[in-house]
Amino acid sequence: MSKRSVVAPVKQTNELGKVVAANRTMSGLPLAELYEPAGGAPPTVGRPGEYPYTRGVYDTMYRGRLWTMRMFAGFGTPEQTNTRFHALLKAGQTGLSTAFDMPTLMGRDPDDPLSLGEVGREGVSIGTVDDMTRLFAGIPLDQVSTSMTINASASVALAFYVLAAERQGVSPNKLRGTIQNDMLKEFIAQKEWVTGVKPSMRIIRDMFVWCSKEMPLFHPVSISGYHIREAGATAVQELAFTLADGIGYVQCGLEAGLDVDAFAPRLSFFFDVHNDFFEEVAKLRAARRIWARVMKERFKAKSAKSLLMRTHCQTAGVSLTAQQPLNNVARVAVQALAAVFGGTQSLHTNSMDETYALPTELAATVALRTQQIIADETGVAKVIDPLAGSYFVEALTDRMEQAATAIIDKIDAMGGIVEAVEAGYPQREIATSAYEFQRRVEANEEIVVGVNRYVDGVKHSSIPTLKIDHDVEIGQIDAIKACREKRDAKAAKAAIDKVRAACHTGDNLMPRLLDAGRAGCTLGELCNVYREVFGEYRDPGGF
């Protein structure tokens, strides 16, 4: 057996404020916090918290602080989601993550004809600052980290969030959290947009500039591979396209005149974690290494914080099955464990019932408890990066890095990710991979338990599901009409005109959106200005 050098144990506390369990196994065998070869790990592996960050972005990792347990939640009215937020926080959740309904994501008000039948169905309905205020009622926004999964209308949602905090007496510089705001992956995979690729990048640029000055604790983009993977990409494609998107956003910030070290530390990432346990662990390790190298060598970042890939992970929604839905609890547990071994900073675990509807409170609680069992019962947080040095894990990490880098190089040769997206390259690659996976499932070459093996013949689930009452839509329509009636119509029109003018002149949109929110303008009205000035995007198809 080779000699090991270890780091002496130190007393640390996790995010919940509890002292981390004694460094020993359940049998009482002592454990060091860190294991590595006596001569040190190879340079490509390194040490936790040191370049190239293969072993994690922090030197103590979960010994110093557990990952944030950030359960995705949102449905119906702001009041209904607020109740769910409070329940999750009471159950031990340590960060909020907000799901919005389709009209909000697409920049439509609840009374828009295109919103009919969708209000509050797949997330919470937000059309005004009043809605956002009710959503976070009783939740001190200077004490809770909030993630918002919204993209095409993210600029307006961010303005409304800042104004909701303003009503609590909380200034923007005290707000912590993330807004997804990743339009490149929308064009690649999720297909929720308002305007085209280049106008969307301009809006994101304005948010980068404003947040770098006004919201230094907030992440103005979460570069998302999750939806790329959910659309059918392989793990390698998810890794490559996500990092290529990240490179595109760094270039966007530089083109806005920002110093790379002024905004790069506030970039964050979001990955899907699927069923192939070791591939997912290797993917996250390779991602940190590639990103650190790109930031150091390509963008010449000088701050170590600019090199860190801090990431949120979510278990794979596309892996959940309607058949035998209780099996999804096991799938989620394995995927969550892979995210933890991969070194995530934040984690959402899907609920067993999400193939049918938004999760019930019971299913969401079971999903949260899955994370808590991993954190508090399995012992995986007692040792920093325990899989490091595995022949298989290190070899697979190297191969993931090589394969993803080859795709990034191809995108660079096309002129960058914006040009690649406009040419449809990522879209075609993902469509091909999705088709091939489904072919393998139908040919029984890829096994899905309960679907093409160990089938029990039961067609319908007996588990309870969440029902969204039609009264939600009626109530939100009434609320937004009341908002328009009570506001100063002239002030609202003047505020909208200033947003329109900024779209034309290139002035930063964020201050104008904040003024518009204060004047009672709605999300749909402001997104319609984008449609009017920049044009509404249509998918060219062909994928």
The pLDDT of residue 76 is 94
What's residue 153's pLDDT?
Answer: 98
pLDDT at 3: 37
- pLDDT for position 4: 37
Q: Minimal CA–CA distance to 370: which of 417, 418, 410, 332?
A: 332
DSSP state of 513: H
Measured between alpha carbons, how far is residue 424 from residues 187, 400, 421, 430, 461 in Å?
Answer: 9, 23, 5, 10, 39
3-state DSSP: the chain helix, strand, coil percent, rounded to 5?
Answer: 50, 10, 40
Q: The tokens 């200005």 sit on which residue? A: 529
Inter-residue contact 322 to 328 (CB < 8 Å): no
Residue-wise pLDDT tens for the chain (543 aa)?
Answer: 333 334 433 333 343 333 345 689 989 999 999 999 988 899 999 999 999 999 999 999 999 999 999 878 899 999 999 999 999 899 888 789 899 999 999 999 999 999 999 999 999 999 999 999 999 999 999 999 999 999 999 999 999 999 999 999 999 999 999 999 999 999 999 999 999 999 999 999 999 999 999 999 999 999 999 999 999 999 999 999 999 999 999 999 999 999 999 999 999 999 999 999 999 999 999 999 999 999 999 999 999 999 999 999 999 999 999 999 999 999 999 999 999 999 999 999 999 999 998 889 899 999 999 999 999 999 999 999 999 999 999 999 999 999 999 999 999 999 999 999 999 999 999 999 999 999 999 999 999 999 999 998 776 667 888 888 889 999 999 999 999 999 999 999 999 999 999 999 999 999 999 999 999 999 999 999 999 999 998 887 765
Determine the pLDDT at residue 387. Answer: 97
Contact 510, 155 (CB under 8 A): yes
Nearest to 517 by CA among 532, 498, 536, 535: 498
Model pTM? Answer: 0.91
> Can you read off the two tokens belonging to residue 538?
């249509």
First-to-last C-alpha distance (Å) of the chain: 53
Q: Are 285 and 271 contacting, i.e. CB atoms less than 8 angstroms apart?
A: no
**Mutual orientation of helices 197-214 and 154-167 as an angle, nearest 10°?**
30
pLDDT of residue 83: 95
**Which letter does DSSP use for residue 470 in this model?**
T
Euclidean distance between CA atoms 240 and 325, whole angstroms = 32
* Beta strand segments in 41-145, E: 68-73, 95-99
Which DSSP letter does residue 298 get?
I
3-state secondary structure of 463: coil
Query: What's the pLDDT score for residue 402?
Result: 98
Q: How far apart are CA 407 and CA 463, in angstroms?
A: 43
pLDDT of residue 220: 94
Q: Residue 138 burial by CB count (10 A; 0-12/13-18/19+): exposed, middle or buried? A: exposed
